[in-house]
């Protein structure tokens, strides 16, 4: 429930701080006193767009903040989903608009997006204005209302799960069918390319090894001559390197006994001599194995040219990419050749999912038929209490051929205020006053079956008066027993039925500003008398006001 509301620098409101109680509260005031400003401020918390024109003259920014208690369980789940802080006892919503037009939103003092603020606010307060009555002729709204009256064991969640599974199966079937279509469209071309790549017997990295081999084959004689020359310098000449190193080793060996520092160098030179001798032996063997092989050069060159041609043709950088392309082509060809089996399996899964969906939809349809019957009967009874003795409500729930996310049901609310006329779609026949009463009855019915957020009725009494207004007040009072109800009204019969009455008015101080205050018993008598008689409050009006208030006890 809404516990506290603070509004600063919003249009004509300088600063307004007001607390609300549970149950049924009414707000009255003269025309132009600022009731629409009050509703507009609360609408800011529900995500309504705002700009700098809403800021009171001379102020830098406007702030609207509301505190709520007795929070619904589903609220914390939503806050967790939105990554916003939770508090089991209180939720604070705040909206700020600066003179530059910048808007900021907060939930529990944490900055968030306007969309998130709206989602949270909708769990806490419902502002019902006259234009919301148009929803009565909307089939989706009517269907949602019926679903709120379903018993706990209803299959609505099962339907949503079945619908999700059906969509997934359909997507899988469609994707396989599309892949098969594409594979069939390119089958000949893909087969040709696959054969070309497969016949090449590709080996990953082969182009690198071939490049090295070709270098060796093309320069075989130069390589052999270089190896032999190196061997000659190392050990074959009279003054070869190894012999000269041996002489150095021998010279140092002759003086090693006179200096311990020489030992290390003798050993290092000895190791170097041995290593060079090993290298010379290896070079001789390599030189012996080196020979020009024109046949192998031709084969390697042709193979290397083939790989480069394929890489250029298919715009790849290496054989690994060619192999990847070959495997992809093989998969597409295989899909075409064996795709019928996959498609048949996907079609079977889709058919099973569709059958399951229709089965649950039929079950849900039966639940909705029963709920619609209860709703129609209850609404008719409530309308009779609201001085519409001949009102009849019927709700048609018809099955559609195509499943939707909400089922296979189409809902039409039929209404008649005259026993001689058959019920017709409510949007085509009901007057403004009749629609107001019908919507109020629907809200009251829903309040009996589920936990609703605080509801603010803005001019719910449009088109009604007298006994009807009194009955409407009684109904709002009953709703206040199970939820917080706030109604802006101009009818004394409704105001007198409320547990708490507030008055909104303007005053000059020195600039015009809007004030909202809770009325005492004496002030309520005065205000209801004003509603009865106008600006001049007569003794008769005061007496009538007292009678209305006493009748509410």
pLDDT at 522: 93
Q: What are phi and psi of 551, to 5 degrees?
A: -65, -20
Calculate mean pLDDT across residues 74-83.
Answer: 89
pLDDT higher than 80, residue 189: yes
Q: Are 241 and 275 in contact (CB under 8 A)?
A: no
What is the pLDDT of the chain when averaged over all its residues? 87
- Angle formed at CA 22 by CA 18 and CA 24, multiple of 5 degrees: 95
Long-range contacts, stretch 188-193, CB < 8 angstroms, 24+ apart: 190/329, 190/332, 190/333, 191/333, 193/314, 193/325, 193/329
pLDDT at 150: 92
Q: Three-class SS string for 328-339? A: HHHHHHHHHHHH
Task: Write the burial class of residue 69 (CB in 10 Å: 0-12 exposed, 13-18 middle, 19+ buried).
Answer: middle
The pLDDT confidence band at residue 323, using thresholds 50, 70 and 90, is very high
Give pLDDT, residue 289: 67
Q: For the segment 16-42, what is each residue's pLDDT rounded down to a tens digit? A: 899 999 999 999 988 777 788 888 889
- 290 pLDDT above the threshold of 70: no
For position 449, what pLDDT does the model report? Answer: 80
Lowest mean pLDDT across 137-146, 165-174, 410-419: 137-146
pLDDT of residue 292: 65
Q: Return the pLDDT at 135.
A: 67
Parallel, antiparallel, or unpaired: how do β-strands 24-28 and 500-508 relate? parallel
* Statement: residue 349 has pLDDT above 90: yes
pLDDT at 395: 93
User: Which whole number is the average pLDDT over 445-471?
Assistant: 81
pLDDT of residue 314 exceeding 80? yes
Mean pLDDT for 228-256 is 82
**Would you say residue 93 has pLDDT above 90?**
yes
Tell me the per-residue pLDDT of 523-548, one tens digit each, with 9 for 90 and over. Answer: 999 999 998 887 788 888 899 889 88
- For 137-146, 235-244, 311-320, which range has the lowest pLDDT when averaged over its residues? 235-244
Contact 107, 120 (CB under 8 A): yes
Give the single-character DSSP code of 370: H
* 3 state DSSP class of 85: coil
DSSP H/E element including 518: strand 512-518
The pLDDT-based confidence of 187 (bands split at 50, 70, 90) is: confident
User: H or E segment at 401?
Assistant: strand 392-404
Cβ neighbour number for residue 476 with a 10 Å cutoff = 27
Is residue 131 predicted with pLDDT exceeding 60? Answer: no
User: Can you tell me the mean pLDDT for 309-317?
Assistant: 92
| Mean pLDDT across 77-97 | 90
- Of the given ranges (130-134, 178-182, 241-245, 324-328), which has the lowest mean pLDDT? 130-134
Q: CB neighbours (10 Å) of residue 111?
A: 12
Residues 6+ apart with CB under 8 A from 293: 217, 220
Whether the pLDDT of residue 553 is over 60: the answer is no
Q: Is the pLDDT of residue 552 over 70?
A: no
Q: Is the pTM of this model over 0.75?
A: no
Confidence of residue 132 (pLDDT cuts 50, 70, 90): low
Lowest-confidence segment of 147-151, 187-191, 414-418 by average pLDDT:
187-191
* Residue 134 confidence (pLDDT): 62
**Looking at the predicted structure, is the pLDDT value of residue 279 above 90?**
no
* Separation in Å, CA 543 to CA 146, 439, 521, 546: 44, 33, 14, 5
Q: Please give the average per-residue pLDDT across 321-344, as a whole number.
A: 84
Q: What is the pLDDT, as a whole number, of residue 223?
A: 76
């Amino acid at each position: 429930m809404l516990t506290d509301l603070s509004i600063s620098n919003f249009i004509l409101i300088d600063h307004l701080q007001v607390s609300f109680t549970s149950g049924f509260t009414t707000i009255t005031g003269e025309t132009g006193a600022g009731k629409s400003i009050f509703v507009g401020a609360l609408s800011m918390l529900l995500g309504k767009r705002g700009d700098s024109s809403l800021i009171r003259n001379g102020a830098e920014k406007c702030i609207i903040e509301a505190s709520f208690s007795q929070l619904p369980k589903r609220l914390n789940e939503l806050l967790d989903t939105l990554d916003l802080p939770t508090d089991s006892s209180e939720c604070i919503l705040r909206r700020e608009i600066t003179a530059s037009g910048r808007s900021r939103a907060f939930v529990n003092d944490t900055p968030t997006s306007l969309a998130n603020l709206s989602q949270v606010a909708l769990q806490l307060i419902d502002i019902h204005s006259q234009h919301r009555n148009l929803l009565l002729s909307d089939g989706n709204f009517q269907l949602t209302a019926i679903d709120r009256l379903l018993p706990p064991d209803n299959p609505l969640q099962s339907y949503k799960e079945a619908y999700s599974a059906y969509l997934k199966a359909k997507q899988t079937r469609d994707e396989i069918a599309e892949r098969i279509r594409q594979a069939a469209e390119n089958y000949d071309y893909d087969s040709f390319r696959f054969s070309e790549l497969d016949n090449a017997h590709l080996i990953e990295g082969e182009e690198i090894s071939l490049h090295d081999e070709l270098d060796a084959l093309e320069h075989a004689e130069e390589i052999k001559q270089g190896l032999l020359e190196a061997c000659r310098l190392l050990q074959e000449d009279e003054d070869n390197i190894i012999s000269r190193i041996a002489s150095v080793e021998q010279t140092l060996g002759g003086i090693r006994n006179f200096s311990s520092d020489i030992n290390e160098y003798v050993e290092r030179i000895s190791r170097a001599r041995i290593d060079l001798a090993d290298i010379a032996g290896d070079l001789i063997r390599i030189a012996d194995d080196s020979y020009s092989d024109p046949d192998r050069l031709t084969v390697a060159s042709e193979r290397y040219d083939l790989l480069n041609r394929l890489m250029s043709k298919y715009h790849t950088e290496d054989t690994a990419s060619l192999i990847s392309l070959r495997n992809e082509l093989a998969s597409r060809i295989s899909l075409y050749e064996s795709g019928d089996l996959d498609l048949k399996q996907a079609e079977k899964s889709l058919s099973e999912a569709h059958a399951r969906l229709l089965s649950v939809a039929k079950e849900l349809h039966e639940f909705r038929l029963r709920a619609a019957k209860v709703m129609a009967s209850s609404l008719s009874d409530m309308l009779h209490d609201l001085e519409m003795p001949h009102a009849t409500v019927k709700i048609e729930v018809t099955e559609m051929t195509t499943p939707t996310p909400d089922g296979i049901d189409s809902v039409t609310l039929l209404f008649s205020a005259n026993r001689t006329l058959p019920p017709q779609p409510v949007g085509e026949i009901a007057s403004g006053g009749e629609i107001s009463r019908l919507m109020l009855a629907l809200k009251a019915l829903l309040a009996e079956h589920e936990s609703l957020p605080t509801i603010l009725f803005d001019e719910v009494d449009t088109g009604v008066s007298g006994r009807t207004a009194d009955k409407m007040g009684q109904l709002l009072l009953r709703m206040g027993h199970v939820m917080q109800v706030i109604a802006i009204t101009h009818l004394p019969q409704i105001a007198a039925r409320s547990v708490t009455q507030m008055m909104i008015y303007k005053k000059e101080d020195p600039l015009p500003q809007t004030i909202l205050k809770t009325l005492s018993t004496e002030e309520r008598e005065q205000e209801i008398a004003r509603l009865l008689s106008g600006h001049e409050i007569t003794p008769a009006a005061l007496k009538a006001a007292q009678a209305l208030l006493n009748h509410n006890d």
